[in-house]
Amino acid sequence: TIRPLVLGIESSCDETGVGIVRGTTLLTNTVSSSMDEHVRFGGVIPEIASRAHLDAFVPTLQEALHEAGVALDDIDAIAVTSGPGLAGALMVGVCAAKALSVATGKPLYAINHLVAHVGVGLLDGATGGAVPGGRLPENLGALLVSGGHTEILRIRSITDDVEMLGSTIDDAAGEAYDKVARLLGLGYPGGPAIDKLAKQGNAKAIRFPRGLTQPKYMGTAEEPGPHRYDWSFSGLKTAVARCVEQFEARGEDVPVADIAAAFQEAVVDVITSKAVLACKENGITDLLLGGGVAANSRLRELTGQRCDAAGITLHVPPLALCTDNGAMVAALGSQLIMAGIGPSGVAFAPDSSLP
């Protein structure tokens, strides 16, 4: 099939996603989130997420088929996230996909969740038409920033050549937002709350550390240090905790808005400066931004400014395609089929730490 009709299934974290694409055309993207059930715990509880996937899968599938106006029989192939992610959560989606494949005889493709975050940029219009005809720009990079990942990737070929240039060595950026929001008493998920509060604060009131930026980690372009393109956010989280403690020890009001703004500036500054450096030193001319933290107003602003200054074209898909969803899984599955790559079969296991 030249333009295969592909059903994509995503269940790596708290979103049950079913998306359907035809070739590079998005037909539907249906997502059911269990976030509400995790809020009171201040983080995603794997067991609850797995049970929620089990409840949500069939209704989400039915809604997606209905919205796209297709029957299961019409589908050419099924694609499913096989990792990385929460093991139990992945198992629900993978098991459902295998069952569908066996029952319908449709071929099954195991999909790397991180590569799918990039593959979504190939859907028509996903990046404002900047990727015409579903063809990737030649020197493409991707900056993925979410609750589970913070990585800069070079994409030579979406189907078989994705290289990780750098990543966080501890917490993901979204995780840092969530932890700091908890410290500041802002609730969960913390990203949107900090984003909003930071607008009322003075980012220059406090200077928080930018992790892994010392010369011993950075090295030089000729002799790169061990973490030139890597990030670390756990020290920043500790610095925020110390800062709050100091205000409290002095019996002063904690300037929550200033701390939120200064924390956000530290995160966004180091993410964008290292991402742009990696692009410049690796000949990357086009950068795709993805992940839930791509919703952050300051990250979008500073990435845009620094890419402009460096002559890099920035592509930002709509938010519903940036956060976890099934359409991105279907989009990458479709690319694999169009590239002539064969299915995975049904013998593969989910891999929670898939690289």
DSSP annotation of 292 reads: G
Least separation in angstroms between residue 221's CB and ligand KG4 is 30
Residue with smaller CB distance to ligand KG4, 226 or 355: 355
Task: Round to whole Å and give the CA distance between 12 and 186.
Answer: 26
- Residue of 151, 258, 286, 324 interacting with Zn ion (CB under 5 A): 324
166 binds ligand KG4 (CB under 6 A): no
Residue 87: CB atoms within 10 A of its CB come to 16
Under a CB-based contact definition with an 8 Å cutoff, are residues 3 and 76 in contact? no
Q: Find the shortest distance in angstroms from Cβ 301 to Zn ion.
A: 22
Is 113 annotated as ligand-binding? yes
Among 291, 317, 333, 350, binds ligand KG4 (CB under 6 A): 291
The listed partner (Zn ion, ligand KG4, none) that binds 17, CB under 5 to 8 Å by sort, is none
Q: At what angle do helices 234-249 and 173-183 cross, to 10 degrees?
A: 10
The answer to whether 119 contacts ligand KG4 (rule: CB under 6 A) is no
Site for Zn ion in 128-167 (CB under 5 A): 146
Q: Where are the beta strands (DSSP E) in the chain?
A: 5-10, 15-22, 25-33, 77-83, 108-112, 140-145, 150-157, 161-167, 286-290, 313-315
Q: Considering the complex, what minimum distance in angstroms separates the CB of residue 220 from Zn ion?
A: 33
SS3 218: helix
Residue type, 32: S
8 Å CB contact between 72 and 100: yes
Q: Does 293 bind ligand KG4 (CB under 6 A)?
A: yes
Query: Residue 108: what residue type?
Result: L
Out of ligand KG4, Zn ion, none, which partner does residue 323 contact, by CB within 5 to 8 A per kind?
ligand KG4
Interacting partner of 178 out of Zn ion, ligand KG4, none (Cβ under 5 to 8 A depending on kind): ligand KG4
**Is 168 a binder of ligand KG4 (CB under 6 A)?**
no
148 binds ligand KG4 (CB under 6 A): yes
CA atoms of 148 and 122, how far apart (whole Å): 22
Binding mask 183-222 vs ligand KG4 (x if CB under 6 A, - otherwise)?
Answer: ------xxxx--x---------------------------
Does 13 participate in binding ligand KG4 (rule CB under 6 A)? yes
Is there a binding annotation on residue 38? no
Q: Which residue has the tokens 């920035």?
A: 314
Q: Please identify, among the stretches 70-78, 209-217, 274-282, 317-325, the one whose residues bind Zn ion according to the rule CB under 5 A.
A: 317-325
Give the amino acid at 167: S
Tokens 């030579």 appear where?
156
Q: Is 160 helix (H, G, I), strand (E, B) or coil?
A: coil
- CA 127/CA 146 separation, integer angstroms: 18
Residues that bind ligand KG4 (CB under 6 A): 13, 146-148, 174, 177-178, 189-192, 195, 291-293, 295-296, 323-324
Residues that bind Zn ion (CB under 5 A): 146, 324
